[in-house]
Amino acid sequence: MGLPRSYFKSKDASDVAFDLPHPCSISRMLYSDLIAAGIDPADGMGKLDFYSLHHTLGTMLAVSGEYTID
């Protein structure tokens, strides 16, 4: 997962980190990606669970050695 350090080295603190779609499109994009990957996108209440994705990303970064808290 070498993206964070190498990707952000060339960016200024005021730069946009990623060119993401409009916020209204993000949940639709995520839902479509999960369906295409064969993953059930709904939590127990039938909603997308963005919070769990946040923790999964943090865990993956920590395990790879890319995530540090200064």
pLDDT in tens, 14-48: 888 777 777 667 778 888 888 898 888 777 776 77
pTM given for the model = 0.42
Mean pLDDT for all residues in the chain: 76
Instruction: Output the CA–CA distances (angstroms, integers) from residue 20 to 17, 27, 55, 59, 62, in the order listed.
Output: 9, 12, 20, 22, 23
Q: What is the pLDDT of residue 58?
A: 81
User: Structural domain boundaries of the chain?
Assistant: 43-70
Q: What is the pLDDT of residue 32?
A: 86
Q: Which one has a higher pLDDT value, 12 or 42?
A: 12
How many helices (H) and strands (E) the chain has is answered by 3, 0
